[in-house]
Amino acid sequence: MPPTTVHLLGLLPEDLVAHMEAAGERCSLTEARQVLSRIISEGAADPTPRREPRRALVEAIRRQTTWERLEVLERVPDEEGKSVRYLFRSPDGALSEAVRIGLLKPDHYTVCLSSQVGCAMQCAFCATGRLGLTRNLAPWEIISAFLTVRDETPGRVNGAVFMGQGEPFHSYDAVIQTARILCNPAGGRVAKENITISTVGLVPQIRRYTRELQPYKLIISLTSTVAARRAELLPVAGRTPLAELVAAIREYATIAQDRVTVAWVVLGGVNTGDDEVEGLRAMLSDLPLRINLIDVNDGRSERDGGFRRATPAELSELLNRLQVLRVPVVRRYSVGQDKDSACGMLAGRRTASSVPSST
């Protein structure tokens, strides 16, 4: 029985070789690289290599694979011109998002990618968490989003971050496959060190990531070091004792020989006090550490149960408190605050059934 049709955007060269051989058609690794370079690296609409191809192989690839991209439903630029948020629809109607983000270096960009349709983590401050989890995104869907953003960017896209919809480590295999395609010479051609994967702190997956010596940057979203508060803010991750998470972080820092980056979503009046900084000092101050402060973008008012941004005074006090750690603290500014910019907001206000198909 011949293999089922696969999507070229989700394959590494060796995957394409194996698929075509299972279909009864010889395909060398060089030929696979040529085909995938055409579709992914060059963003072409046709997989026929530039070099003289074997007609039988090209015809077999057309029968056994597909390479269509996701449909783009919306492109929403922010008012400062720093980002563009994309809303995509998959063939089954699932909605997902990606964001083009401008870097400090002129004409250089990174793409923030989603890994799931919705999310099961239920983080209290996250719009995606309120959607619930529909399913994981397949590698080809994530690569499709990356390519569309890349091909419409008036500059160089040289990075990718898995910090969009979903928990990347809840879809571990698909995310790692996608990262491998992104950095492959026949794929996205993004340097490994420019690919970042974020997690709310799924300990088994952090340990697996460490054992596998994955070469991509890792960010662990901590947001609170007070156990009861963290369990309330990040319910799923909060089921794992903080001591186990800290042990996994220490193991990663030791084996990867890399600085640990901790993401901290700043919630006004919630996690900016002395107790949080003391927790960071007690748990992690002896490790090479970096702290990324991220402004919350809840999309709800406090009256509706939402979280507010920290005031300038609160932020200043937090930064002063963090000085005791003597570690780099990076302020990550949110963009597009007035344009449904937080992950899940575009998908949350539109459903597949309410959006007409484009022609």
Q: What is each CA distance from 254 to 57, 115, 203, 240, 247, in whole angstroms?
A: 47, 27, 16, 21, 11
Q: What is each CA distance from 277 to 59, 68, 73, 348, in whole angstroms?
A: 61, 48, 42, 34
- 252 touches 206 (CB < 8 A): yes
**What DSSP element (H or E) covers 277?**
helix 274-284
Cβ neighbour number for residue 216 with a 10 Å cutoff: 21
How would you label 4-16 residue by residue, b for 16+ Cβ within 10 Å and e otherwise? eebbbbbbbbebb
List 27, 123, 126, 343, catalytic entry: 343
Give DSSP secondary structure letters for 116-137: EEE-SS--TT-TGGGG-EEEEP
What gap in Å lies between CA 246 and CA 250, rounded to an integer? 6
**What DSSP element (H or E) covers 161?**
strand 156-162
The torsion angle over the Cα atoms of residues 67, 70, 72 and 77, rounded to 10 degrees, is: -100
**343 part of the active site:** yes
- 158 touches 274 (CB < 8 A): no
List 31, 97, 167, 314, catalytic entry: 97
Catalytic positions, written as ranges: 97, 343
